[in-house]
Structure 1
C-alpha cells in the first residue's frame, strides 16, 4: 500500500503595511486554491485585517483553511509606542527606521512558528532579511515575496550596477538608463538615494541603506522570488531578470483576481469608510467610462495646500470623480480635509464628485463600468489593480519607493497613461503640483484625441494581459 502523500505546507510572513499585506493575503488564497496548506504570520493588531479579508472567501476553500498565527510585536524593545504595529501609522523617517529595526526582533517568533508547523517552504517579505537565516536553519527554501514589477527590479539593478546618475551635472538633467530594452530617462531628483542626501538626512540615509542592503543580500541567498505579475505584460523584463541577472523567479499572475465576488472585493484590506451600497449607488448613477478615480494609497500623506489644489484641479477638469482622502497626519497633527477644501467645494461638486474619507473598496470601485481613469501615486498594487480593469487610463503622480520606475513603465513602455508632472522623489509626501497640472492630465486621459489613442493602446495591453492570465 502506498503511503498517503502529505499536502505541501507554506508559511507566509507579510510585512506589516497594507501595501504588503493585501497582496500577501491574495497569495495565500492563490496557494490554498492550488491545494497548498497556508499559514499566515502576523501580529495581534494586524490580525483583524487579515481575518476580515479571509472571511469573505472562507466558504470557497472548504477543506483548505488558511491559518493565522499571531506573534507579539516588540514595541517596547524597538522603541515603538504601544498600539502601533503597522507602517501606515507612522509619520516620520525616524519612526519608520525604528519600526524596521523592531521587526528584526521577530526572528525568534518566526523560529517558534517554523518549529511548530515544520512547513515545506517559507515565503517572507523582502524586509525580513532574517527569514533566509531561519529557512536555512530548518532546511527549507525561503522565497521572497516582491510586490513590484520586473521592470522596476531591472531598472533598480542597472542603476546600482552602472550608476548613470553620476554622469550628469545637475539633479534635473536627464540621463538614459543603460542596457535595458527600452530607452528610459530619469533624473537624480527622481532617485531615492539622491533625494535622501539632502541637508540633515545623512543619518536617515545611512540607516535606511543598512536595512536595504541587508534585505538585498538576504534576497541573494534566498531560493528565489515570487512576483505578482504575468509574463505577457513585460516579457522583455522577465527575460532580462531571469537570463541576464540570473535570478530565480516565479510570476503567479495578478493574485488580486482571486477576489471575484463583490463581498471579497469590498472586504479586501481594512474596513471600508463607505457603505458598499452607497458607493455602488453613486457609481450606478454615472454613465459608463465617465468617472476618474483619484487615490494615493495607504502611506502617502497630502498637505493641506495639496488637498486644496487637487480639489481645484478636479473641479476645473469638469469630470465626474471619486476622490479618496486618507486620514492625514502632517508634522504630528491631523489634517481635517473639510477645513482646507475650497469654499463650498462639496456643495458645488454634489452631483459630480464623491469624496471618501479613509479606506475605500478600491477593487469594487475600479471594477465598475463607470470608471474610466485612475490618478495614482504609482504604488504597484494600485498600478496592477487599475491596469487589470482600466488599462489606458492612468494619470501618474509618483510618491516614494520605486514609484518613478512604475510611472516610466506605464507612460513610456506600456504607453497607457500620462504623467501629471511630479519631478522629485519623496518618501511619503506628494509633491506640490498646481491645479492646472491636475486638470490638464485628467482631461488628457478622459477626453480628446490623445485620450482615444491611450485607450486604443490600453485595449491592446488588455488583450495581451487576458491571454496571459
Structure 2
C-alpha cells in the first residue's frame, strides 16, 4: 500500500480535445491534480502545446511548483484532408471541415496506445470526442475518465433527450405548439425543437447522431465522468445524474478558481490582445457594478447586421461596457464615438481578470459552460445568448433554475447565423436594462453573489469539490495498488 508521502507515484494522464474550451479547463485540472502531489501528464499536439507550456512555465514562478509534463503527439492534418497547421477546432469551423477534423482526431488513437503501453499511467482522462479512448485504456487495464466540458444539468438534459426523444411529439416549429416538456427531471423544463441541432431531431442518420451515440457508449463503459461544476450549484442534477441515471461522476470545479494571481488569470488560454494593466486601469476608473462585459466565446462569429444591432442597443442604453470582438469585425466609427463609455477588445481578452473586477455588473454570454461558470464564480448576473452545442441547456440552468439570468431571446440552434436569426436592438436593449436596473436586478445580483461564495467554499479544504477530488485520488490510488501488486 502506498503511504501518504508517496502520492506522487500516482500518475494521471489528461488528453483534452483540441479546442480552447476543452484545453483551458483541462490545464486547470492538471494543476489541481499536481497541487495534490499527483504526477500529471498533458497530451496535446505541436501547435496547441504553447497554450500549456506558457502557462506551466509561468506557474513555476509561483509558490506551487507543478508536477506537470507535456507529451506532444503529431496531428495527422494532411492525412485527414485538412490544411497543414489546422490543429484546433477554431480553425475547422467551416462546413465539411469539422468532420475532417474529427477524422484526424480519431487518427491519434495509435499514438495514444503506444504512449499508454510505454508509461502505464494510473488513469486516463480524455475528452468526450475521443470515444475510442475507453477501449484504448482498457487494453492496458487503465481506468478512463470522460470530460464533457459541461455541467450536470446539461448532461442530464442530453441524456433525457436521448432516452425519451420528447421532441418527436412536436408537430410544428411555430410557437407555442412547438414546446415540449423534458420528462423525469427534478424541475419542469420546457424546450423547443429549434433549440436543438436539427441533426438530433431529423429522421436522417447523420455523422452527428453517430458521433453522439458513440460518445454515450464510451461514457457508459468508462470508469466515470469528471465534471467542472460544484455540488451546491446544481445539487438536484448531481444527484439525478448519479442516482437516477446511474453514472459515476466527480465534480471538482470551478477549476478556473485555481488561477489565483493576476498573472495566472491574465495568461489563461491565449496571450491577451490587450495589456492587462491598461484593462485594469480603465476598469478602476469605473463605479462598482456599473460595466457590462460582453463576450461570445472563441468559436462564435456574429454577422455584421447582428453587430450593428448590438452597437445600437449599447448606444441607446448609454451603458458602460467592455466588448470582446473578433479582429476582423468592422464596427464602423463606433469605437471612436464610444471612447470613455466602452472598451473594445479585439481578439483574446483576460476574461477572468475582467469578470472578477468590482466594476463589472453583468455578463452578456453565449452560455458556453466555461464562460457561464466563470460568470457564476465571479458572482455576476447574466444576459444569456445561446447559439449552438449545449448552450441552450446552460441557458435554462441560468434563467429557470438559478434565476440569475435574463434571456436575450435567441430561439434557434445555429453555427452559421443568418439574417433571419438576428436579435433586434429592442430585445437587446430591454435585456441590458433588465439585468442592470431595478429591484429584480438587485435580487439577481444578490443571488449571484451567494453562488460566488458557494463556489469558493467548494474548493476549500473540506468543501464539496475538494472532497470529491480527494475521493477520486483515493480511489485511483487504491486501484493502482491492486494493479501494481
Q: Same fold (TM over 0.5)?
A: yes
Q: What is the CA–CA distance in structure 2 between the aligned matches of 1:387 and 1:460, rounded to whole Å?
A: 9
The answer to whether 1:444 aligns with 2:434 is yes
Superposition map of 1:345-424 within 5 A: 345-391=334-380, 393-424=381-412
SS at match of 2:185: coil
The answer to whether 1:276 aligns with 2:271 is no
Contact kept in structure 2, 1:32 and 1:61, CA below 8 Å: no
SS at match of 1:337: coil
User: 1:291 Cα deviation (Å)?
Assistant: 0.5
Q: What is the CA–CA distance in structure 2 between the aligned matches of 1:180 and 1:27, rounded to whole Å?
A: 29
2:196 aligned residue (163, 179, 191): 191
1:149 aligned residue (151, 174, 189): 151
Superposition map of 1:278-357 within 5 A: 278-327=278-327, 336-338=328-330, 341-342=331-332, 344-357=333-346
Q: What is the CA–CA distance in structure 2 between the aligned matches of 1:457 and 1:177, rounded to whole Å?
A: 26
1:55 aligned residue (30, 54, 57): 57
CA deviation profile, 1:365-414 (whole Å, cap 9, x unmatched): 111111110000000000000110123x1000001101000000000000
SS at match of 1:93: coil
Match in the other structure for 1:9: 11
1:41 aligned residue (40, 43, 46): 43
Structure 1 vs Structure 2 CA RMSD: 2.0
Contact kept in structure 1, 2:109 and 2:132, CA below 8 Å: yes
Match in the other structure for 2:452: 462
CA deviation profile, 1:45-102 (whole Å, cap 9, x unmatched): 0001111222221244766421111111001111110011000012313101110111
From the superposition, tell whether residues 196 and 300 of structure 1 become closer, same or farther in structure 2 (CA, over 3 Å).
farther
SS at match of 1:147: coil
User: 1:306 Cα deviation (Å)?
Assistant: 1.1
Q: Structure 2 unaligned runs (5+)?
A: 460-485
How many pairs align? 452
Q: What is the CA–CA distance in structure 2 between the aligned matches of 1:313 and 1:90, rounded to whole Å?
A: 32
Q: What is the CA–CA distance in structure 1 between the aligned matches of 2:454 and 2:187, rounded to whole Å?
A: 19
Match in the other structure for 2:463: none
From the superposition, tell whether residues 94 and 132 of structure 1 become closer, same or farther in structure 2 (CA, over 3 Å).
same
Q: What is the CA–CA distance in structure 2 between the aligned matches of 1:353 and 1:107, rounded to whole Å?
A: 47
CA deviation profile, 1:422-462 (whole Å, cap 9, x unmatched): 00011354841011111111111111222122223323433
Match in the other structure for 1:249: 249
2:141 aligned residue (139, 142, 149): 139
Contact kept in structure 2, 1:325 and 1:357, CA below 8 Å: yes
Match in the other structure for 1:102: 104
From the superposition, tell whether residues 308 and 197 of structure 1 become closer, same or farther in structure 2 (CA, over 3 Å).
farther
1:432 aligned residue (398, 422, 425): 422
Mean Cα deviation higher: 248-257 or 406-415: 248-257
Contact kept in structure 1, 2:387 and 2:413, CA below 8 Å: yes
CA deviation profile, 1:288-341 (whole Å, cap 9, x unmatched): 1110000000111111111111111111121100000124xxxxxxxx323xx2
TM-score with structure 1 setting the length: 0.92
TM-score with structure 2 setting the length: 0.89
SS at match of 1:12: strand
User: 1:146 Cα deviation (Å)?
Assistant: 2.2
Match in the other structure for 1:331: none
CA deviation profile, 1:182-216 (whole Å, cap 9, x unmatched): 11111010011457859xxx6xx711222222121
From the superposition, tell whether residues 25 and 63 of structure 1 become closer, same or farther in structure 2 (CA, over 3 Å).
closer
From the superposition, tell whether residues 91 and 449 of structure 1 become closer, same or farther in structure 2 (CA, over 3 Å).
same
Q: What is the CA–CA distance in structure 1 between the aligned matches of 2:33 and 2:450, rounded to whole Å?
A: 30
Match in the other structure for 1:178: 183
SS at match of 2:96: helix
SS at match of 1:458: helix
